[in-house]
Amino acid sequence: MIKQRTIKQSVKETGIGLHKGDKVTMTLRPAPANTGIVFRRVDLEPYADIPARADSVGDTMLCTCISNSDGVTISTVEHLASALAGLGIDNIIVEVDSDELPIMDGSASPFIFLLQSAGIEEINTAKQFIKITKTIRVEEDDKWAELRPYDGFRVDFRIDFDHPVISETRQHMVLDFDSSSYVDEVSRARTFGFMKDLEYMHSHNLALGGSMENAVALDEYRVLNPEGLRYSDEFLKHKILDAIGDLYLGGHSIVGELVAYKTGHGLNNKLLNALLQNKECWEFVSYETPEEMPIRFASPFLATN
């Protein structure tokens, strides 16, 4: 039986929040089967749990924010969600002493490192995948995204930025995660933005934690970060990283293909909600042996302890 996963032991990390720029402490804790991903605001008395759910996502202008039924919110969840998707972790408690997760370096890589140092543990309960059985599509202006049946997990992603730096990099790729590693190919891609937007936001008390420490900053003609890009196609890969995280807020790994044109957090979430509401387009499946499982994740036994 392919089993659900959690982490072996708790791990703690501190960083700054993107929105307020304050120090945030985050503790990742193991959780039993069928818990899912639960964010816990320990800055509140009593603390408040915010389970990751497709229909609790809001405010997608700067990042992905989710809320519980009492209206308690947690922001900037998408890069951790992407790391959890990449490692196939089903159950975890994410404690934070703020209303946002630490932004870290703007990629999923520090979360991958943290999860791998906690160690991955299997739980004796079958892992449930969402298998796409019929194509579902959402559109918004000229943007669109589809989930199609596919025996594996593949992403066919296109961005179309009319900016001299981004348009010189690859804007379309197909990544099949049977032959490509999420950790190597995707997880290190940082978020990006324009310096003039960042300056404008700072002047309006927004994105106070945003800097070249946690984003690739662009002006009209070039990348401003002295270290340059981590991948030649880092912009495209970050959009893929975001989409993988956004789709994982449904709590299950998807067996299928994402085909997307210029999508972002809002449309990714619309796709996930459309999918979950259209039950004729998918089914839950579980697998008996690794050989029949169409998705490969990092082996839990590769973890460092």
Catalytic positions are 265
Query: Among residues 191 and 253, whose Cβ is nearest to Zn ion?
Result: 191
User: How near is the Cβ of 245 to Zn ion at its closest, in Å?
Assistant: 7
Give me the half-sphere count of Cα atoms (radius 13 Å) on the Cβ side of residue 295: 26
CA distances in angstroms from 298 to 16, 114, 222, 236, listed in the order given: 28, 14, 35, 23
User: How near is the Cβ of 191 to Zn ion at its closest, in Å?
Assistant: 4
Total residues binding Zn ion (CB under 5 A): 2
Closest by CA to 254, choosing from 148, 143, 157, is 148
User: How near is the Cβ of 136 to Zn ion at its closest, in Å?
Assistant: 23
- Among 116, 191, 263, 268, indicate the residue that binds Zn ion (CB under 5 A): 191
Query: Among residues 100 and 242, whose Cβ is nearest to Zn ion?
Result: 242
- Binding status of residue 82 toward Zn ion by CB under 5 A: no
How many whole angstroms from its chain centre is CA 100? 15
Residue in this structure with the two tokens 């209303």, named with its chain if needed? 99
Q: State the binding string over 200-239 for Zn ion (x if CB under 5 A, else -).
A: ----------------------------------------
User: How near is the Cβ of 221 to Zn ion at its closest, in Å?
Assistant: 23
Q: Could you tell me which residues are beta bridge partners of residue 17?
A: 102
Q: Which amino acid is at 152?
A: G
Indicate the length of the chain as a whole number. 305
Query: Among residues 185 and 242, whose Cβ is nearest to Zn ion?
Result: 242
- Parallel/antiparallel/unpaired status of strands 129-132 and 254-261: parallel
Beta strands of the chain (E only): which ranges?
3-7, 11-16, 23-30, 37-41, 48-51, 57-58, 65-67, 73-75, 92-96, 120-126, 129-132, 136-140, 143-148, 153-158, 172-176, 192-194, 216-218, 254-261, 282-285
Query: Among residues 169 and 191, whose Cβ is nearest to Zn ion?
Result: 191
- Among 90, 234, 242, 246, indicate the residue that binds Zn ion (CB under 5 A): 242
Among 21-29, 175-183, 184-192, 207-215, the segment contacting Zn ion (CB under 5 A) = 184-192
Among 5-13, 108-116, 178-186, 189-197, the segment contacting Zn ion (CB under 5 A) = 189-197
Residues near Zn ion, by CB under 5 A: 191, 242
